[in-house]
């Protein structure tokens, strides 16, 4: 591995795929030296970021996220865009099996010179998925990708994390038996800029269209997040390639409306501030637990609380007093 940040910065700006991949590997690394190098590189690339359309995609396993991304991504590269796909994959850190699955579901995109696909493991390192994915996205933007697709499976906090770093959050659904709203996590509807019912093909077409109506009426009952955008419910077939262009047009219309109203700039600004607040929380916590006096006193105080010798409040208070002393003293 190289260790001169300038080489990485130049390589990324020159759109060299290998350097891009290596930079993301540094971002994902848990080694302090790599983390520091990554921080320097990302900082220097920052002026070249922010120019992509950032699209988040979520959906239950099997909804067709990878198939959709394949269609959507190849349509975009066909129109002259450069597309980066960052997939947050809970299983990739385990076996890599599902990366292989995705490679086969994204056969064309995986070999498309104007696309860059990168699965990112969802465990480890400071800031978790949020930090790695956000920084990987920034680096891809600096490498000239003008559409960034962040794909996540609907697990844990990953939907909220992804929604907080994109311009447009797309929830991919499939028509199921019975209550169409079953299985959708509360809060996900509120985050959606559009809901798309996939697999609207063959025998499933009628069910997809009735699901569309049900979701639309559910959405109509919610207060839209923006006065200028009512999240639509669309249908598509990733398999047949139907409805994919309408989704892109919807994303562009959303961007245009919110750009004119000033909401897009506001959204990105707030995302940056939220991100800073998150990093501060994270850093404070690390700093606190690294304090030698905290480390020394914590086990005893935990025990005292367990045995009701002291109250949780008193224990926390006495630990927090250590913050008034210099770290390490």
Return residues touching ligand GTP (CB under 6 A): 59, 61-67, 105, 153, 198-199, 201, 237-239
Contacted by 201, from Mg ion, ligand GTP, none: CB < 5 to 8 Å by type? ligand GTP
Distance separating alpha carbons of residues 173 and 188, to the nearest angstrom: 11
Q: How far is the CB of 179 from Mg ion (least distance, A)?
A: 25
Cβ-closest residue to ligand GTP?
A: 64
Q: How far is the CB of 66 from Mg ion (least distance, A)?
A: 3
Long-range contacts of 125-130 (CB under 8 A, 24+ apart): 125/28, 125/29, 125/30, 125/35, 126/35, 126/282, 126/286, 127/278, 127/279, 127/282, 128/161, 129/88, 129/158, 129/161, 130/161, 130/164, 130/165, 130/275, 130/278
Nearer to ligand GTP, 66 or 158 (CB): 66
Contacted by 198, from ligand GTP, Mg ion, none: CB < 5 to 8 Å by type? ligand GTP
CA-angle at 5, arms to 131 and 165, nearest 5°: 20
Distance separating alpha carbons of residues 66 and 103, to the nearest angstrom: 9
Instruction: Say if residues 173 and 211 touch (Cβ distance below 8 Å).
Output: yes
Contacted by 153, from ligand GTP, Mg ion, none: CB < 5 to 8 Å by type? ligand GTP
Nearer to Mg ion, 110 or 225 (CB): 110
Contacted by 61, from Mg ion, ligand GTP, none: CB < 5 to 8 Å by type? ligand GTP
Question: Using the rule CB under 5 A, which residue among 66, 161, 212, 291 binds Mg ion?
Answer: 66
Contacted by 59, from Mg ion, ligand GTP, none: CB < 5 to 8 Å by type? ligand GTP
Q: How far is the CB of 10 from ligand GTP (least distance, A)?
A: 35
Kindly state the tokens that stand for 164.
Answer: 């907080």
Q: How far is the CB of 92 from Mg ion (least distance, A)?
A: 11
Q: Which stretch binds Mg ion (CB under 5 A): 63-71, 109-117, 296-304, 305-313?
A: 63-71
Nearest to 215 by CA among 155, 171, 262: 171
Nearer to ligand GTP, 84 or 153 (CB): 153
Instruction: Say if residues 188 and 159 touch (Cβ distance below 8 Å).
Output: yes
Site string for Mg ion, 17-56 (x = CB under 5 A): ----------------------------------------
Q: How far is CA 126 from CA 32, 133, 323, in A?
A: 11, 12, 21
Distance separating alpha carbons of residues 208 and 64, to the nearest angstrom: 14
Q: How far is the CB of 111 from Mg ion (least distance, A)?
A: 18
Nearer to Mg ion, 68 or 145 (CB): 68
Q: How far is the CB of 174 from ligand GTP (least distance, A)?
A: 8
Contacted by 120, from Mg ion, ligand GTP, none: CB < 5 to 8 Å by type? none
Compute how many residues bind Mg ion; rule: CB under 5 A: 2
Q: How far is the CB of 170 from Mg ion (least distance, A)?
A: 14
CA-angle at 240, arms to 235 and 243, nearest 5°: 30
Instruction: Say if residues 294 and 320 touch (Cβ distance below 8 Å).
Output: no
Nearer to ligand GTP, 13 or 155 (CB): 155
Distance separating alpha carbons of residues 226 and 260, to the nearest angstrom: 13
Q: How far is the CB of 5 from Mg ion (least distance, A)?
A: 34
29 phi and psi, to 5 degrees?
-70, 150
- Binding residues for Mg ion, rule: CB under 5 A, are 65-66
């Amino acid at each position: 591995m190289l260790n001169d940040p300038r080489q990485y910065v130049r390589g990324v700006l020159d759109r060299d795929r290998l350097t891009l991949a290596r930079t993301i590997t540094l971002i994902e690394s848990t080694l302090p030296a790599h983390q520091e190098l990554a921080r320097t590189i990302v900082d220097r690339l920052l002026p070249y970021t922010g120019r992509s359309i950032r699209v988040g995609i979520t959906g239950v396993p099997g909804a067709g996220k990878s198939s959709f991304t394949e269609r959507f991504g190849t349509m975009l590269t066909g129109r002259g865009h450069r597309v980066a796909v960052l997939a947050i994959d809970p299983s990739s850190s385990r076996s890599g099996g599902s990366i292989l699955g995705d490679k086969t579901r994204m056969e064309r995109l995986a070999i498309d010179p104007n696309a860059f696909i990168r699965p990112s493991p969802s465990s480890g390192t400071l800031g978790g998925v949020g930090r790695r994915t956000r920084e990987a996205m920034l680096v891809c933007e600096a490498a000239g990708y003008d559409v960034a697709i962040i794909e996540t499976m609907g697990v844990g906090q990953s939907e909220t994390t992804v929604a907080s770093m994109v311009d447009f959050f797309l929830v991919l659904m499939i028509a199921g038996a019975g209550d169409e709203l079953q299985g959708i996590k509360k809060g996900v509807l509120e985050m959606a800029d559009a809901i798309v019912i996939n697999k609207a093909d063959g025998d499933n077409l009628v069910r997809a269209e009735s699901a569309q109506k049900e979701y639309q009426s559910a959405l109509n009952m919610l207060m839209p997040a923006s006065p200028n955008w009512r999240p639509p419910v669309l249908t598509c077939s990733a398999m047949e390639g139907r409805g994919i262009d309408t989704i892109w047009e919807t994303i562009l219309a959303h961007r245009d409306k919110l750009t004119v109203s000033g909401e897009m700039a506001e959204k990105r600004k707030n995302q940056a501030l939220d991100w800073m607040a998150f990093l501060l929380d994270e850093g404070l916590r690390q700093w606190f637990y690294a304090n030698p006096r905290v480390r020394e006193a914590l086990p005893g105080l935990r025990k005292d609380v367990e045995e009701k010798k002291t109250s949780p409040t008193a224990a926390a208070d006495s630990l927090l007093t250590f913050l008034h002393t210099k770290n390490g003293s």
